[in-house]
Protein backbone atom coordinates (compact mmCIF):
# COMPACT_ATOMS: atom_id res chain seq x y z
CA UNK A 1 0.00 0.00 0.00
CA UNK A 2 2.73 2.38 -1.00
CA UNK A 3 2.08 6.07 -0.90
CA UNK A 4 -0.36 6.03 2.03
CA UNK A 5 0.64 5.26 5.58
CA UNK A 6 -2.44 4.17 7.46
CA UNK A 7 -2.17 3.29 11.15
CA UNK A 8 -1.27 -0.22 12.21
CA UNK A 9 -4.52 -1.49 13.66
CA UNK A 10 -4.11 -5.16 14.60
CA UNK A 11 -4.55 -5.36 18.38
CA UNK A 12 -4.51 -9.11 18.98
CA UNK A 13 -0.79 -9.26 19.78
CA UNK A 14 -1.11 -6.66 22.54
CA UNK A 15 -2.63 -9.28 24.81
CA UNK A 16 0.59 -11.30 24.56
CA UNK A 17 3.30 -8.83 25.57
CA UNK A 18 1.82 -5.32 25.46
CA UNK A 19 4.60 -2.89 26.45
CA UNK A 20 7.44 -5.03 25.08
CA UNK A 21 5.72 -5.16 21.71
CA UNK A 22 5.18 -1.40 21.75
CA UNK A 23 8.91 -0.96 22.25
CA UNK A 24 9.62 -3.39 19.42
CA UNK A 25 7.22 -1.53 17.13
CA UNK A 26 9.14 1.68 17.86
CA UNK A 27 12.41 -0.13 17.09
CA UNK A 28 11.10 -1.19 13.68
CA UNK A 29 9.87 2.30 12.89
CA UNK A 30 13.29 3.70 13.71
CA UNK A 31 14.80 1.26 11.21
CA UNK A 32 12.27 2.26 8.54
CA UNK A 33 12.18 5.99 9.23
CA UNK A 34 14.52 6.93 6.41
CA UNK A 35 12.57 4.85 3.88
CA UNK A 36 8.93 5.84 4.33
CA UNK A 37 8.94 8.57 1.68
CA UNK A 38 10.75 6.33 -0.82
CA UNK A 39 8.49 3.28 -0.59
CA UNK A 40 6.13 4.28 -3.39
CA UNK A 41 8.96 4.20 -5.94
CA UNK A 42 9.76 0.58 -5.14
CA UNK A 43 6.65 -0.61 -6.94
CA UNK A 44 7.68 1.33 -10.04
CA UNK A 45 11.24 -0.02 -9.92
CA UNK A 46 10.04 -3.56 -9.19
CA UNK A 47 12.75 -4.26 -6.61
CA UNK A 48 13.52 -3.43 -3.00
CA UNK A 49 16.77 -1.71 -1.97
CA UNK A 50 19.19 -3.92 -0.06
CA UNK A 51 19.88 -0.99 2.25
CA UNK A 52 16.42 -1.22 3.83
CA UNK A 53 17.29 -4.69 5.16
CA UNK A 54 20.58 -3.33 6.48
CA UNK A 55 18.68 -0.54 8.23
CA UNK A 56 16.43 -3.06 9.94
CA UNK A 57 19.43 -5.20 10.84
CA UNK A 58 21.39 -2.26 12.24
CA UNK A 59 18.39 -1.32 14.37
CA UNK A 60 18.48 -4.84 15.83
CA UNK A 61 15.04 -5.77 14.50
CA UNK A 62 15.87 -9.32 13.38
CA UNK A 63 18.00 -10.15 16.43
CA UNK A 64 15.35 -8.87 18.80
CA UNK A 65 12.70 -11.08 17.20
CA UNK A 66 14.82 -14.23 17.43
CA UNK A 67 16.31 -13.52 20.87
CA UNK A 68 13.03 -14.84 22.27
CA UNK A 69 13.04 -18.08 20.31
CA UNK A 70 10.78 -19.54 17.66
CA UNK A 71 7.49 -19.63 19.54
CA UNK A 72 7.68 -16.83 22.12
CA UNK A 73 9.14 -14.52 19.47
CA UNK A 74 6.29 -15.08 17.01
CA UNK A 75 4.32 -12.10 18.31
CA UNK A 76 7.34 -9.95 17.41
CA UNK A 77 7.27 -11.39 13.92
CA UNK A 78 3.64 -10.29 13.64
CA UNK A 79 4.56 -6.72 14.59
CA UNK A 80 7.40 -6.72 12.04
CA UNK A 81 5.03 -8.01 9.35
CA UNK A 82 2.53 -5.26 10.15
CA UNK A 83 5.05 -2.43 10.19
CA UNK A 84 6.90 -3.38 7.01
CA UNK A 85 3.67 -4.00 5.06
CA UNK A 86 2.32 -0.67 6.28
CA UNK A 87 4.80 1.25 4.15
CA UNK A 88 4.99 -1.21 1.24
CA UNK A 89 3.26 -4.57 0.78
CA UNK A 90 6.23 -5.93 -1.17
CA UNK A 91 8.54 -5.11 1.72
CA UNK A 92 6.14 -6.87 4.07
CA UNK A 93 6.35 -10.01 1.95
CA UNK A 94 10.14 -9.89 1.53
CA UNK A 95 10.85 -9.07 5.19
CA UNK A 96 8.69 -12.01 6.29
CA UNK A 97 10.50 -14.38 3.92
CA UNK A 98 13.90 -13.15 5.14
CA UNK A 99 13.01 -13.10 8.83
CA UNK A 100 10.82 -16.18 9.24
CA UNK A 101 11.69 -18.49 6.36
CA UNK A 102 15.38 -17.81 5.77
CA UNK A 103 16.59 -16.93 9.27
CA UNK A 104 14.14 -19.34 10.91
CA UNK A 105 15.36 -22.28 8.83
CA UNK A 106 19.01 -21.40 9.42
CA UNK A 107 18.41 -21.27 13.17
CA UNK A 108 16.79 -24.68 13.02
CA UNK A 109 19.15 -26.47 10.62
CA UNK A 110 22.51 -24.63 10.61
CA UNK A 111 25.20 -27.18 11.44
CA UNK A 112 28.63 -25.62 10.83
CA UNK A 113 30.58 -22.39 11.27
CA UNK A 114 29.98 -21.21 7.69
CA UNK A 115 26.22 -21.50 8.12
CA UNK A 116 26.37 -19.83 11.53
CA UNK A 117 28.28 -16.93 9.95
CA UNK A 118 25.59 -16.63 7.24
CA UNK A 119 22.95 -16.63 9.98
CA UNK A 120 24.78 -13.91 11.88
CA UNK A 121 25.03 -11.73 8.79
CA UNK A 122 21.36 -12.33 8.01
CA UNK A 123 20.53 -11.00 11.49
CA UNK A 124 22.52 -7.87 10.58
CA UNK A 125 20.77 -7.52 7.23
CA UNK A 126 24.03 -7.77 5.25
CA UNK A 127 22.90 -11.18 3.99
CA UNK A 128 19.38 -11.11 2.53
CA UNK A 129 17.60 -14.39 1.99
CA UNK A 130 14.93 -15.68 -0.38
CA UNK A 131 13.12 -19.02 -0.45
CA UNK A 132 13.67 -21.09 -3.62
CA UNK A 133 11.19 -23.95 -3.56
CA UNK A 134 8.59 -23.31 -6.32
CA UNK A 135 9.32 -24.97 -9.68
CA UNK A 136 7.67 -25.38 -13.10
CA UNK A 137 6.52 -28.86 -11.99
CA UNK A 138 4.66 -27.59 -8.94
CA UNK A 139 3.95 -24.59 -6.74
CA UNK A 140 2.46 -25.49 -3.38
CA UNK A 141 3.25 -29.17 -4.00
CA UNK A 142 6.60 -29.43 -2.23
CA UNK A 143 6.77 -33.09 -3.11
CA UNK A 144 6.99 -32.11 -6.79
CA UNK A 145 10.47 -30.56 -6.38
CA UNK A 146 12.70 -31.82 -9.17
CA UNK A 147 15.82 -29.67 -8.73
CA UNK A 148 18.43 -32.36 -8.09
CA UNK A 149 21.36 -32.49 -5.71
CA UNK A 150 23.88 -35.16 -6.67
CA UNK A 151 26.65 -35.95 -4.24
CA UNK A 152 30.15 -36.24 -5.61
CA UNK A 153 33.60 -36.37 -4.04
CA UNK A 154 33.59 -33.51 -1.54
CA UNK A 155 30.80 -31.47 -3.12
CA UNK A 156 27.22 -31.48 -4.42
CA UNK A 157 26.13 -30.75 -7.97
CA UNK A 158 22.79 -28.91 -8.02
CA UNK A 159 20.79 -28.57 -11.23
CA UNK A 160 17.28 -27.34 -11.83
CA UNK A 161 14.99 -24.38 -12.24
CA UNK A 162 13.10 -22.29 -9.69
CA UNK A 163 10.11 -20.16 -10.65
CA UNK A 164 8.28 -17.22 -9.01
CA UNK A 165 11.03 -16.77 -6.38
CA UNK A 166 10.09 -13.69 -4.38
CA UNK A 167 12.77 -11.04 -3.76
CA UNK A 168 15.49 -12.92 -5.67
CA UNK A 169 16.50 -9.65 -7.35
CA UNK A 170 17.36 -8.09 -3.99
CA UNK A 171 18.49 -11.17 -2.05
CA UNK A 172 22.13 -12.15 -1.69
CA UNK A 173 21.43 -15.80 -0.81
CA UNK A 174 18.75 -18.39 -1.42
CA UNK A 175 17.45 -21.24 0.66
CA UNK A 176 17.27 -23.83 -2.13
CA UNK A 177 15.15 -26.96 -1.70
CA UNK A 178 16.35 -29.93 -3.76
CA UNK A 179 15.72 -33.63 -4.23
CA UNK A 180 18.52 -36.09 -3.48
CA UNK A 181 17.98 -39.86 -3.79
CA UNK A 182 14.30 -39.56 -2.93
CA UNK A 183 14.80 -37.18 0.01
CA UNK A 184 14.47 -33.43 0.18
CA UNK A 185 17.58 -31.47 1.09
CA UNK A 186 18.00 -27.73 1.65
CA UNK A 187 21.12 -25.78 0.69
CA UNK A 188 22.28 -22.21 1.22
CA UNK A 189 23.51 -20.74 -2.07
CA UNK A 190 24.83 -17.25 -2.85
CA UNK A 191 22.77 -15.93 -5.74
CA UNK A 192 25.93 -14.45 -7.29
CA UNK A 193 27.58 -17.88 -7.33
CA UNK A 194 28.76 -19.10 -10.76
CA UNK A 195 26.14 -21.38 -12.23
CA UNK A 196 23.21 -19.54 -10.63
CA UNK A 197 21.42 -17.36 -13.17
CA UNK A 198 18.56 -14.94 -12.61
CA UNK A 199 16.93 -15.29 -16.02
CA UNK A 200 14.29 -12.62 -15.57
CA UNK A 201 11.41 -11.26 -13.52
CA UNK A 202 7.70 -11.79 -13.90
CA UNK A 203 5.35 -8.81 -14.24
CA UNK A 204 2.74 -9.15 -11.49
CA UNK A 205 -0.71 -8.00 -10.46
CA UNK A 206 0.34 -6.71 -7.03
CA UNK A 207 3.05 -6.56 -4.34
CA UNK A 208 5.22 -5.12 -7.10
CA UNK A 209 7.98 -3.85 -4.82
CA UNK A 210 8.96 -7.47 -4.20
CA UNK A 211 10.14 -9.02 -7.47
CA UNK A 212 9.44 -12.61 -8.58
CA UNK A 213 12.26 -14.26 -10.52
CA UNK A 214 13.01 -17.25 -12.70
CA UNK A 215 16.25 -18.90 -11.54
CA UNK A 216 18.31 -21.47 -13.41
CA UNK A 217 20.78 -23.47 -11.33
CA UNK A 218 23.68 -25.58 -12.58
CA UNK A 219 26.40 -25.29 -9.99
CA UNK A 220 28.64 -27.09 -7.51
CA UNK A 221 28.67 -26.40 -3.77
CA UNK A 222 30.67 -27.83 -0.87
CA UNK A 223 29.03 -30.09 1.67
CA UNK A 224 29.12 -27.18 4.13
CA UNK A 225 26.29 -25.60 2.10
CA UNK A 226 23.90 -28.42 3.04
CA UNK A 227 21.48 -27.60 5.84
CA UNK A 228 20.57 -30.26 8.39
CA UNK A 229 20.68 -34.00 7.93
CA UNK A 230 19.36 -36.16 5.11
CA UNK A 231 15.57 -36.08 5.05
CA UNK A 232 15.36 -32.82 7.02
CA UNK A 233 14.35 -30.72 4.02
CA UNK A 234 10.60 -31.42 4.23
CA UNK A 235 10.49 -30.76 7.97
CA UNK A 236 12.48 -27.55 7.54
CA UNK A 237 10.18 -26.29 4.77
CA UNK A 238 7.06 -27.11 6.78
CA UNK A 239 8.38 -25.30 9.85
CA UNK A 240 9.31 -22.28 7.74
CA UNK A 241 5.90 -22.16 6.06
CA UNK A 242 4.19 -22.36 9.43
CA UNK A 243 5.89 -19.17 10.63
CA UNK A 244 5.43 -17.43 7.28
CA UNK A 245 1.69 -18.14 7.29
CA UNK A 246 1.25 -16.53 10.71
CA UNK A 247 3.07 -13.37 9.61
CA UNK A 248 1.13 -13.21 6.33
CA UNK A 249 -2.13 -13.60 8.25
CA UNK A 250 -1.22 -10.64 10.43
CA UNK A 251 -0.58 -8.54 7.32
CA UNK A 252 -3.95 -9.58 5.90
CA UNK A 253 -5.79 -8.68 9.10
CA UNK A 254 -4.10 -5.31 9.12
CA UNK A 255 -5.00 -4.75 5.46
CA UNK A 256 -8.63 -5.59 6.24
CA UNK A 257 -8.69 -3.18 9.17
CA UNK A 258 -7.05 -0.43 7.13
CA UNK A 259 -9.47 -0.89 4.24
CA UNK A 260 -12.38 -0.91 6.67
CA UNK A 261 -11.11 2.17 8.49
CA UNK A 262 -10.63 4.37 5.46
CA UNK A 263 -13.88 3.15 3.81
CA UNK A 264 -15.96 3.84 6.92
CA UNK A 265 -14.40 7.28 7.23
CA UNK A 266 -15.69 7.89 3.71
CA UNK A 267 -19.09 6.34 4.45
CA UNK A 268 -19.60 8.64 7.41
CA UNK A 269 -19.17 11.78 5.32
CA UNK A 270 -20.37 10.84 1.83
CA UNK A 271 -24.07 11.41 1.17
CA UNK A 272 -26.24 9.59 -1.36
CA UNK A 273 -30.01 10.00 -1.75
CA UNK A 274 -30.06 12.48 1.14
CA UNK A 275 -28.36 10.25 3.72
CA UNK A 276 -24.80 9.35 4.65
CA UNK A 277 -23.68 6.04 3.19
CA UNK A 278 -23.30 4.54 6.65
CA UNK A 279 -27.00 5.21 7.28
CA UNK A 280 -28.03 2.95 4.41
CA UNK A 281 -28.80 -0.39 6.03
CA UNK A 282 -27.58 -2.50 3.11
CA UNK A 283 -24.07 -1.08 3.49
CA UNK A 284 -24.06 -0.72 7.27
CA UNK A 285 -25.05 -4.35 7.82
CA UNK A 286 -22.48 -5.52 5.32
CA UNK A 287 -19.78 -3.71 7.29
CA UNK A 288 -21.18 -5.12 10.54
CA UNK A 289 -20.72 -8.63 9.16
CA UNK A 290 -17.17 -7.78 8.08
CA UNK A 291 -16.34 -6.40 11.51
CA UNK A 292 -17.49 -9.65 13.11
CA UNK A 293 -15.38 -11.63 10.63
CA UNK A 294 -12.25 -9.57 11.30
CA UNK A 295 -12.73 -9.88 15.06
CA UNK A 296 -13.00 -13.66 14.66
CA UNK A 297 -9.76 -13.91 12.68
CA UNK A 298 -8.01 -11.58 15.13
CA UNK A 299 -9.10 -13.88 17.97
CA UNK A 300 -7.70 -16.91 16.11
CA UNK A 301 -4.40 -15.09 15.54
CA UNK A 302 -4.28 -14.23 19.24
CA UNK A 303 -4.90 -17.88 20.16
CA UNK A 304 -2.01 -18.97 17.91
CA UNK A 305 0.32 -16.40 19.49
CA UNK A 306 -0.64 -17.39 23.02
CA UNK A 307 0.06 -21.04 22.20
CA UNK A 308 3.39 -20.11 20.59
CA UNK A 309 4.36 -18.02 23.61
CA UNK A 310 4.11 -21.20 25.70
CA UNK A 311 6.04 -23.14 23.01
CA UNK A 312 3.00 -25.31 22.34
CA UNK A 313 2.26 -26.74 18.84
CA UNK A 314 0.42 -24.36 16.52
CA UNK A 315 0.33 -26.36 13.28
CA UNK A 316 -3.29 -27.38 13.71
CA UNK A 317 -4.37 -23.74 13.83
CA UNK A 318 -2.12 -22.03 11.31
CA UNK A 319 -3.68 -23.44 8.14
CA UNK A 320 -7.14 -22.38 9.34
CA UNK A 321 -5.84 -18.94 10.32
CA UNK A 322 -4.26 -18.22 6.96
CA UNK A 323 -7.21 -19.65 5.01
CA UNK A 324 -9.73 -17.46 6.83
CA UNK A 325 -7.52 -14.35 6.92
CA UNK A 326 -7.02 -14.40 3.15
CA UNK A 327 -10.72 -14.88 2.49
CA UNK A 328 -11.83 -12.15 4.91
CA UNK A 329 -9.22 -9.64 3.73
CA UNK A 330 -10.15 -10.02 0.08
CA UNK A 331 -13.87 -9.61 0.74
CA UNK A 332 -13.36 -6.65 3.08
CA UNK A 333 -11.16 -4.84 0.58
CA UNK A 334 -13.72 -5.51 -2.15
CA UNK A 335 -16.49 -3.99 0.01
CA UNK A 336 -14.22 -1.01 0.69
CA UNK A 337 -13.81 -0.51 -3.04
CA UNK A 338 -17.59 -0.75 -3.45
CA UNK A 339 -18.07 1.82 -0.69
CA UNK A 340 -15.84 4.31 -2.49
CA UNK A 341 -17.55 3.63 -5.79
CA UNK A 342 -15.71 5.01 -8.81
CA UNK A 343 -13.07 6.62 -6.62
CA UNK A 344 -12.11 3.23 -5.21
CA UNK A 345 -11.34 2.00 -8.70
CA UNK A 346 -8.81 4.77 -9.37
CA UNK A 347 -5.14 4.70 -8.48
CA UNK A 348 -5.55 7.97 -6.55
CA UNK A 349 -7.13 6.03 -3.68
CA UNK A 350 -5.34 3.24 -1.74
CA UNK A 351 -8.10 0.64 -2.18
CA UNK A 352 -7.14 -0.16 -5.77
CA UNK A 353 -3.64 -1.13 -4.65
CA UNK A 354 -4.96 -3.09 -1.67
CA UNK A 355 -7.27 -5.07 -3.95
CA UNK A 356 -4.31 -6.15 -6.07
CA UNK A 357 -1.97 -6.84 -3.17
CA UNK A 358 -4.23 -9.00 -1.00
CA UNK A 359 -5.07 -11.34 -3.88
CA UNK A 360 -1.63 -12.95 -3.70
CA UNK A 361 -2.38 -14.32 -0.24
CA UNK A 362 -4.76 -16.94 -1.61
CA UNK A 363 -1.86 -18.35 -3.66
CA UNK A 364 1.40 -17.66 -1.80
CA UNK A 365 2.50 -19.52 1.37
CA UNK A 366 0.02 -22.27 0.54
CA UNK A 367 -2.96 -21.97 -1.77
CA UNK A 368 -6.50 -22.07 -0.41
CA UNK A 369 -6.84 -25.56 -1.82
CA UNK A 370 -3.66 -26.85 -0.15
CA UNK A 371 -4.67 -25.36 3.19
CA UNK A 372 -8.08 -26.99 2.97
CA UNK A 373 -6.40 -30.29 2.20
CA UNK A 374 -4.16 -29.92 5.27
CA UNK A 375 -7.20 -29.22 7.43
CA UNK A 376 -9.13 -32.12 5.89
CA UNK A 377 -6.27 -34.55 6.62
CA UNK A 378 -6.31 -33.49 10.25
CA UNK A 379 -10.03 -34.23 10.38
CA UNK A 380 -9.43 -37.76 9.10
CA UNK A 381 -7.72 -38.90 12.30
CA UNK A 382 -9.26 -41.27 14.84
CA UNK A 383 -10.82 -39.64 17.90
CA UNK A 384 -11.20 -42.32 20.61
CA UNK A 385 -13.94 -40.51 22.56
CA UNK A 386 -16.17 -39.82 19.56
CA UNK A 387 -15.39 -43.18 17.97
CA UNK A 388 -16.48 -44.90 21.19
CA UNK A 389 -19.60 -42.74 21.40
CA UNK A 390 -20.47 -43.64 17.81
CA UNK A 391 -20.05 -47.34 18.57
CA UNK A 392 -22.57 -46.95 21.37
CA UNK A 393 -24.99 -45.05 19.13
CA UNK A 394 -24.77 -47.70 16.40
CA UNK A 395 -25.28 -50.49 18.94
CA UNK A 396 -28.49 -48.84 20.11
CA UNK A 397 -29.72 -48.34 16.55
CA UNK A 398 -32.30 -51.18 16.50
CA UNK A 399 -36.01 -51.08 15.67
CA UNK A 400 -38.62 -51.15 18.40
CA UNK A 401 -40.34 -54.51 18.98
CA UNK A 402 -43.95 -54.80 17.88
CA UNK A 403 -45.42 -54.66 21.41
CA UNK A 404 -43.69 -51.35 22.03
CA UNK A 405 -45.09 -49.72 18.91
CA UNK A 406 -47.89 -47.24 19.58
CA UNK A 407 -51.25 -48.60 18.40
CA UNK A 408 -53.98 -46.63 16.70
CA UNK A 409 -57.44 -47.58 17.96
CA UNK A 410 -59.96 -48.28 15.22
CA UNK A 411 -63.00 -46.01 15.32
CATH number of 356's domain: 1.20.140.10
Q: How many CB atoms lie within 10 A of CB 245?
A: 27
Note whether 138 and 110 are same-domain residues. no
Note whether 28 and 82 are same-domain residues. yes
- Give dist(CA 396, CA 238) in Å, integer: 44
Note whether 374 and 260 are same-domain residues. yes
Q: Where are the alpha helices (DSSP H) in 162-232?
A: none
Note whether 240 and 351 are same-domain residues. yes
Residue 284 burial (C-beta neighbours within 10 Å; 0-12, 13-18, 19+)? middle
Domain edge (last residue) among 207, 231, 255: 231
Note whether 47 and 82 are same-domain residues. yes
CATH number of the domain to which 180 belongs: 2.40.110.10
Please report, for residues 58, 60, 66, 384, the alpha-carbon distance to residue 122 in angstroms, rounded to integers and kept in the order given. 11, 11, 12, 46
Note whether 110 and 156 are same-domain residues. no
Residue 193 CB contacts under 8 Å (≥ 6 apart), including other chains: 219, 221
Report the pLDDT value the prediction gives residue 182, as an integer from 0 to 100. 79
Q: Is residue 3 part of a domain?
A: no
Report the pLDDT value the prediction gives residue 18, as an integer from 0 to 100. 64
**Closest by CA position to 174, among listed 195, 143, 146, 153:** 195
Q: Is residue 318 part of a domain?
A: yes
Q: What are phi and psi for residue 253, nearest 5 degrees?
A: -65, -45
R_g over Cα of the chain: 25
Q: Is residue 406 part of a domain?
A: no
Report the pLDDT value the prediction gives residue 1, as an integer from 0 to 100. 39
Domain edge (last residue) among 65, 93, 128: 128
Domain edge (last residue) among 72, 107, 128: 128
Give how many domains the chain has, as a whole number.
3
> Domain containing 374: what range?
235-381
Q: Is residue 192 part of a domain?
A: yes
Given a contact cutoff of 8 angstroms between Cβ atoms, the answer to whether 48 and 207 are in contact is no
**Closest by CA position to 72, among listed 17, 9, 124:** 17
Q: How many CB atoms lie within 10 A of CB 7?
A: 9
Q: Is residue 77 part of a domain?
A: yes
Note whether 175 and 214 are same-domain residues. yes
Note whether 281 and 377 are same-domain residues. yes
Note whether 100 and 226 are same-domain residues. no
Please report, for residues 58, 117, 142, 341, 387, the alpha-carbon distance to residue 351 in angstroms, rounded to integers and kept in the order given. 33, 42, 33, 11, 49
Report the pLDDT value the prediction gives residue 143, as an integer from 0 to 100. 75
- Give dist(CA 219, CA 187) in Å, integer: 12
Q: Is residue 280 part of a domain?
A: yes
Element (H, E) at 119: helix 113-124
Note whether 261 and 190 are same-domain residues. no
Pairing of strands 173-180, 129-132: parallel
Report the pLDDT value the prediction gives residue 154, as an integer from 0 to 100. 83
Note whether 155 and 220 are same-domain residues. yes
Q: What is the mean pLDDT of each run of 10 residues along the chain (411 residues)?
A: 52 59 93 92 96 98 95 93 94 96 94 95 98 84 87 92 96 94 89 96 95 97 88 74 93 94 96 93 97 96 92 91 97 97 92 94 91 92 93 89 66 59
Note whether 240 and 276 are same-domain residues. yes
Q: Is residue 402 part of a domain?
A: no
Q: Is residue 194 part of a domain?
A: yes
Max Cα distance, the chain (Å): 99
Amino acid sequence: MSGIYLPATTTAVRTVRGQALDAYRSLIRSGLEAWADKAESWDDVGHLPQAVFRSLGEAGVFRERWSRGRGPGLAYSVVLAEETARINSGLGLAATLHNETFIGTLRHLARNSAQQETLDRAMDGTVIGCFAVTEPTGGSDIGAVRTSAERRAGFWRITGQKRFISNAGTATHMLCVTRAEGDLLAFILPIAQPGVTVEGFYPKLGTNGCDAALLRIDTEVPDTARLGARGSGMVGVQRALELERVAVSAQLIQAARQAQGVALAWARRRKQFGSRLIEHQALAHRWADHDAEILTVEALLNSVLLLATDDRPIGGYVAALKLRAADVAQRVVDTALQTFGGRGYTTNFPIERMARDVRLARIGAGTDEVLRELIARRLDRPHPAFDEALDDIVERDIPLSDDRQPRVEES
